[in-house]
């Protein structure tokens, strides 16, 4: 029986995520260098990147491996381009807070838009470990519970109709007046949820409905999240769940980056809240 190539990618991410979860504590206090975006790495970033590279690059269906922790794409042959943030929110390790992994599978070389995504995955290493998967060949967004070496189908995701939570990153002194006005309005209506790991914050939105955003700031005038590794894969996942995404004026799947590590302002959540973002921030 022929095995679906996307299934092989999902299984490889699941297998590696099990090992990452079991060994994260070994890297709680270790430091490394800086990544290609100039941000400080912890030892866990480099370690997780190598683990995922070893597993994914060996698949016949993977033609290129592109990581937030590597300057350039690694040629693996012919097949999908896998773009990965191996340890999202790694600064949380030292304080024993949630971290994650984000994977985008593109049917095109990078740079490209999120319209070339064929699958997206996010792993949340929280009190327990879950993996959420959206695929072009499936009408449902599937969640798995990863424990004891097994990956159990745990449920499917459709974003709730009524939003409950909001988490907008960035210091108020560094955000634009329009963003601060929007934030004040949303924070009067919704519960505040922001933890510094994108996967954990988006998991709250998927579970309870709401909005997660990382706008442009003085420190990150192009936004903080990278298009290929974070913004587009998460947009693919949340749009497949019935939600929406925007950079302030268009779907994050339409953002067309020039380089592998380009950034974008990012808003993800209920479509009604995404529309409010565009109304408040659009040109």
- What is the DSSP track for 185-237? HHHHHSEE---S-HHHHHHHHHHH-EEEEE--BSS-TT-SEEIIIIIHHHHHH
Q: Is the pLDDT of residue 92 over 90?
A: no
- The predicted-structure confidence for 206-224, as pLDDT tens digits, reads as follows 999 999 999 999 999 999 9
Q: How confident is the model at residue 96 (pLDDT cuts 50, 70, 90)?
A: confident
Q: What is the pLDDT of residue 32?
A: 60
- Give the residue-averaged pLDDT of 228-255: 98
Judge residue 77's burial from the number of C-beta atoms within 10 Å of its C-beta, 0-12 exposed, 13-18 middle, 19 or more buried. exposed
Q: What is the pLDDT of residues 53-91, one digit of tens each?
A: 999 999 999 999 999 999 999 999 999 999 999 999 888
For 91-97, the CB contacts below 8 A with 24+ separation are: 91/40, 91/42, 91/196, 92/195, 92/196, 92/197, 93/24, 93/27, 93/28, 93/29, 93/42, 93/44, 94/28, 94/29, 94/42, 96/28, 97/195, 97/196, 97/197, 97/200
Closest CA to 54 of 27, 97, 84, 25: 84
Q: What band does 282 get if pLDDT is binned at 50, 70 and 90?
A: confident
| Percent with pLDDT over 70 in the chain | 95
Tell whether the model's pLDDT for residue 31 goes beyond 90: no
pLDDT digits (tens, 9 = 90+) for 5-29: 999 999 999 999 999 999 988 887 6
CA 262/CA 264 separation, integer angstroms: 7
pLDDT band at 93 (very low <50, low <70, confident <90, very high): confident
Model confidence at 2: pLDDT above 60: no
| pLDDT at residue 77, rounded to an integer | 95
Q: Quick one: what percent of the chain has pLDDT higher than 90?
A: 82
pLDDT digits (tens, 9 = 90+) for 253-268: 999 999 999 999 999 9
Cβ neighbour number for residue 207 with a 10 Å cutoff = 15
Q: What is the DSSP string of 30-69?
A: -EEEE-TTSPEEEHHHHHHHHHHHHHHTTSTTEEEEEETT
- Residue of 145, 195, 144 lying closest to 166 (CA atoms): 195
* Digit-coded pLDDT (tens) for 174-197: 999 999 999 999 999 999 988 888
């Amino acid at each position: 029986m022929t095995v679906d190539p996307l299934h092989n990618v999902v299984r490889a991410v699941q297998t590696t995520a099990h090992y990452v979860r079991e060994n994260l504590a070994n890297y709680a206090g270790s430091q490394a260098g800086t990544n290609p975006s100039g941000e400080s790495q912890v030892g866990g970033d480099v370690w997780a990147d190598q683990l995922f590279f070893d597993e994914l690059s060996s698949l016949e269906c993977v033609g290129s491996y592109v990581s937030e922790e590597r300057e350039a794409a690694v040629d693996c042959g012919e097949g999908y381009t896998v773009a990965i943030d191996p340890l999202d929110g790694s600064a949380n390790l030292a304080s024993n807070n949630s971290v994650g992994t984000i994977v985008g599978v593109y049917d095109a070389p990078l740079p490209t838009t999120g319209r070339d995504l064929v699958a997206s995955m996010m792993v949340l290493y929280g009190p327990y470990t879950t993996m959420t998967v959206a695929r072009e060949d499936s009408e449902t967004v599937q969640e798995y519970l990863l424990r004891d070496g097994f990956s159990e189908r745990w449920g499917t995701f459709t974003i709730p109709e009524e939003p409950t939570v909001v988490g907008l990153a960035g210091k108020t002194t560094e955000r634009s007046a329009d963003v601060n006005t929007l934030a004040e309005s949303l924070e009067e209506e919704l519960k505040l949820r922001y933890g510094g790991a994108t996967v954990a914050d988006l998991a709250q939105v998927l579970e309870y409905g709401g909005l997660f955003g990382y706008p442009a700031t003085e420190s990150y005038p192009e936004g903080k999240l990278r298009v290929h590794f974070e913004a587009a894969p998460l947009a693919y996942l949340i749009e497949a769940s019935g939600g929406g995404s925007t950079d302030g004026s268009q779907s994050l799947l339409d953002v067309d980056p020039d380089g592998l590590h380009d950034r974008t302002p990012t808003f993800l959540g209920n479509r009604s809240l995404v529309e409010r973002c565009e109304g408040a921030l659009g040109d």
